Amino acid sequence: MIGWLFRRSADAVATALVAVVVLVLLVHLLPGDPLAVLIGEREVDAAQRAALAASWGTDQPIWIAVGHYLLSLGHGDLGLAMSENRPVTTILLERLWPTLLLGGLTLVIDFTVGLALGLWSALHPESWRARLIGALTVVGYSLPSFVLGMVLVSVFAQRLPWLPPAGLADLTLPLDAPFAATLVDRLKHLVLPLASMVIATIAVPLRQQRSAVMGTVTQPWVLAARARGVSPAAIAWRHCWRPALTPVVTLLGLWLPMLVGGAVFIEMLFNWPGIGSLIAQATASRDIPLVLGAGVLLIVMVQVGSLVADILYRVVDPVQRDQ
Amino acid sequence: MKLQTKVGLGLLGLLALLAMVGPFVTVDPDAQLDLLHGTLQPPSLSHLLGTDEFSRDVLARLAHGAGISLGVGLIAVVVAALLGMAIGLWAGDSEGMAGKMLRRVINLGLAIPRIVVLLVLLSAIGAVPIWLLAVVLGMTGWPAMARLVRGETLRLRTAQYVSAAQALGATRARILWRDILPGALPPLLVAATLGIADAMLLEAGLSFLGLGAPPPAASWGGMLLESRSVMAVAPWMVLAPGLALVAATSAATLLGDALRRRLQPDVT
Amino acid sequence: MTALLEVKDLTISFPQAQGEPVVAVDGVSFRVSAGEVLALVGESGCGKSLTGLALPGLLPAAARLGATSEIRFKGTDISRLSERELRNYRGRRIAMVFQDPLTSLNPVMRVGQQIIEAIQAHRQVGRAEARARAIELLSEVGIADPGERVDSYPHQLSGGMRQRVMIAIALAGEPDLLVADEPTTALDVTVQAQILELLDRLRAARGMAVLLITHDLGIVAGRADRVMVMYAGRMAETASTAALFAAPAHPYTRGLFASIPRLSGEGGRLPSIPGTVPRPDQWPTGCRFNPRCPVVIPICREQQPGLDAIASGHRVACWVAAKTAAKTAR
């Protein structure tokens, strides 16, 4: 196990590195003068231009430029953001936790509620509730997450002023307000973006679980378990659900890149100050160092998530452990 | 034919009608602007879906946008499928080191979130004509297709008719083209149909971020962006493009499922 | 003395969307006494597996029992019991061993856990005690290092060991009757003998009755007390093993014996029964074997023969056999 873990982690690191290299190469390989692209429409004086050329290595062979970037990356230096003139790393760290919060909660809800509903639908395939869940998931999946978000905002924030339409928190709330009030406020701000993300993404684990359980229900070991007098509840849990878990866990690893995409649009819609909205805003202002930096971070997050998913997969499937 | 398939075909028909016939049948949205009285009108007989903040007819804009959204989706998927097919076939058919390397390349492609690549590219290139955006979208969508085709190629390589072809002296290219490709097509087609939905959503999202087709030509995503500021007073501006998007992606999903039932009956 | 199991007129049919229901098992009756081994022999499609599944009430949901069908276990008709009541019988009074031990074991559950599950389904025992009992059972079925093996996953065991585990699971509830559905078909020939040996030992030690369902007459010799031969959903012949092997009366049974490959004797073409087993919705009128029968007479094509005794404890459903027996009796 330890040997595998070591190799798998090394693989994750290597993949992340190569991905970063690819991204940096993309920027450098695009037609035109890379320096001009970096500067864009901004006003820069000669000193800044020179500093930029030096830090980006734009007048050097491409491999050196890439290497330079990677070396700085190793030091935690991702350069300066053009639009704000602050270190990219600082900005990234500021905006990391909102994304983790939103993404993390979405993941948790999708893989608990989604799995539970999927299990239930598989065990009662003919019921109207199961069919309804099936139809809703297709609609939810087809719905662009930000459209869903806009509808939710329109209904719950504008027509019915129950929830705030955007932002992390109410900025008019005094800093020394009681903890309960702050907590409630934060939670209220979390509801709509979270609901949008969950509704848009819950279809995937739900349908995967449903089809996996429908596959296990007909397996011979279920009949064998019935033959020894095991109760229906135990059969559903141990013999239908548990073996159906493995395809769902594989889903987790593949699915993280998709989750990142959804987050970008939702964060923009709700002015949620996370990495997703950061990369979108940076793209609009053509702040390449910032876009690259955010991209690197997202790649790393995906690799970490994929590693965790693979570990879970080995935990869940005993056959894998021996291979 | 199952109900879902009928619904999917129906939606597809409506949308195709909207895209192809709509622009000729509806009023030109940019003509006859009535900025004093005609802005933000709710749906009525003269304007079936209302007007926007520049008094343009929403239905007309929807029809013009349909061509963009649907066209981009199609182009992107075709590009992704072609690229993915080429790489997937190559990867699945290669032995040893080359095979391993190509597999890693595909995994790498899957590891980089598509949106990240898109945004990095767009930040460096700047504004692009919409058809180029479609191609760029397609160029970022190859990993999933490649993985699928690679899997199918690996599976089909061991089929007996392939061994037979090899024994008869067929070249590698010919085997790939005549024997393996037709076998890999069904799942690819299914994935492509479902991929149209993804591509359309991505284009809509990019337009929503202001990175898509520049005004006045607006795809549905662009219309959604415009509607954001007036959402509270003009909900039809959100609903029209929103529902259109839902209809299009639902149609793609339903038809993709129907195709899968037809072409791959043993897959759930 | 009441037999342990008495099956009367068992009919299993499957209603169709259109037309008549398909009858898979048609009026089968037999009994099993305590401690006895009854072999149920037939080709695939004859309904023997369904017969076995009917006993603990594990037929597919679409199946329907005939109105007059009875399954009496120690006197009680269990064919009409509710699912809950049946659970008291499953594993505890009637246990089953299935054909493919790989797919009949939950791949993500340790084998010991599956045995413990069988134990705890019927008795209130603590985990430690159940685990100890599971190890005992593994040892009883001949698995080496039971203390280690109890924590193995199914994929870590060989086919023979997996089948032993299945038997251990079946024994966990201390059943009176063990229904073994093709217990050796999925195993290598050498392992087959070991498993059959094991079943024999266990039966003797526990006084358990066994219903051995198989298509292989070869494994029946020396292991079963009595044999029932099934064809196309009906009983063709039933007798003690000795009597059946000495003088098979039904043409089908004869055909089965003739087609067993033998190492001794001259070479030549292996005889086989011409034609194929008819599907349940295509059963011929009269005796169902008549299209393939070498000694068919006109009445065979019109009326189904009843199961008549031709000697003590030896019954056959065949017009020709009945006639021959009547002649010799005179």
Q: How far is A126 from chain C (nearest CA, A)?
A: 14
- Three-class secondary structure assignment of C72-122: EECCEEHHHCCHHHHHHHECCCEEEECCCCCCCCCCCCCHHHHHHHHHHCC
Touch test B–C: 3 Cβ pairs or more under 8 Å: no
Using one digit for the tens of pLDDT, what is the confidence trace for C32-44? Answer: 999 899 999 998 8
Q: How far is CA A183 from CA A126, A175, A267, in A?
A: 42, 12, 20
Using one digit for the tens of pLDDT, what is the confidence trace for C175-220? Answer: 999 999 998 888 888 888 888 889 889 888 988 999 999 988 888 8
pLDDT on residue A147: 85
The verdict on a CB contact (< 8 Å) between C109 and A223 is: no
Query: Are the C-beta atoms of C10 and C28 separated by less than 8 Å?
Result: yes
CA angle A41, A45, A47 (to 5 degrees): 130
Using one digit for the tens of pLDDT, what is the confidence trace for C172-182? Answer: 988 999 999 99
Q: Where does the pLDDT of residue C136 fall: very low under 50, low under 70, confident under 90, or very high at 90 and above?
A: very high
Look up tokens 């504004």; give the residue.
B127
d(CA C9, CA C27): 4
pLDDT on residue A34: 61
Q: Whole-model pTM?
A: 0.76
Proportion of chain B in helix, strand, coil states, percent, rounded to 5: 75, 0, 25
Nearest residue of chain C to residue A315 (CA atoms): C108
Q: Where does the pLDDT of residue A63 fall: very low under 50, low under 70, confident under 90, or very high at 90 and above?
A: confident
Phi, psi of C177 (to 5 degrees): -130, 130
Handedness of CA C244, C249, C255, C259 (dihedral sign): positive
Q: How much is the ipTM here?
A: 0.87
Work out the mean pLDDT of chain B and round it to a whole number: 83
Is C7 near chain A, with CB under 8 Å? no
CB-nearest partner of B245 from A30, A144, A158: A144
Using one digit for the tens of pLDDT, what is the confidence trace for A100-135? Answer: 889 889 989 998 999 889 888 888 888 888 888 888
What is the CB neighbour count within 10 angstroms for residue C3? 17
Q: Where does the pLDDT of residue B29 fall: very low under 50, low under 70, confident under 90, or very high at 90 and above?
A: low
Q: Where does the pLDDT of residue A176 fall: very low under 50, low under 70, confident under 90, or very high at 90 and above?
A: confident
Look up tokens 């070396």; give the residue.
A71
pLDDT on residue C10: 93
pLDDT on residue C211: 94
Query: Are the C-beta atoms of C50 and C233 separated by less than 8 Å?
Result: no
Other chains touching A, judged by 3 or more CB pairs under 8 Å: B, C
d(CA B49, CA B46): 9
Using one digit for the tens of pLDDT, what is the confidence trace for A152-164? Answer: 888 888 777 777 7
Q: Where does the pLDDT of residue B267 fall: very low under 50, low under 70, confident under 90, or very high at 90 and above?
A: low
Whether C61 shows a pLDDT value over 60: the answer reads yes
Residues of A in contact with B114 (CB under 8 A): 257, 261
Q: Where does the pLDDT of residue B31 fall: very low under 50, low under 70, confident under 90, or very high at 90 and above?
A: low
Using one digit for the tens of pLDDT, what is the confidence trace for C287-309? Answer: 888 888 888 888 888 888 888 88
d(CA A269, CA A277): 9
The verdict on a CB contact (< 8 Å) between B232 and A288 is: no
Q: Who has greater pLDDT, B118 or A286?
A: B118
pLDDT on residue A322: 67
Whether B218 shows a pLDDT value over 90: the answer reads no
Q: Where does the pLDDT of residue B165 fall: very low under 50, low under 70, confident under 90, or very high at 90 and above?
A: confident
Residues of B in contact with A150 (CB under 8 A): 224, 227-228, 231, 238, 242
Q: Where does the pLDDT of residue B2 fall: very low under 50, low under 70, confident under 90, or very high at 90 and above?
A: confident
Proportion of chain A in helix, strand, coil states, percent, rounded to 5: 80, 0, 20
Whether B247 shows a pLDDT value over 60: the answer reads yes
Closest by Cα among B191, B178, B252, B258 to B12: B252
**Burial level of C32, CB count in 10 A (0-12/13-18/19+)?**
buried
pLDDT on residue C157: 92
pLDDT on residue B189: 87
Q: Where does the pLDDT of residue C135 fall: very low under 50, low under 70, confident under 90, or very high at 90 and above?
A: very high
Look up tokens 């193995």; give the residue.
C152
Using one digit for the tens of pLDDT, what is the confidence trace for A70-101? Answer: 887 777 777 777 777 788 888 888 888 888 88
Using one digit for the tens of pLDDT, what is the confidence trace for A223-253? Answer: 999 999 999 999 988 998 888 888 788 777 7
Q: How far is CA A160 from CA A167, A187, A193, A266, B42, in A?
A: 18, 17, 16, 21, 20
Please name the helix (run of DSSP H) or strand (run of DSSP E) that holds residue A278, with its range, or none.
helix A275-284
d(CA B67, CA A304): 40
d(CA C283, CA A134): 42
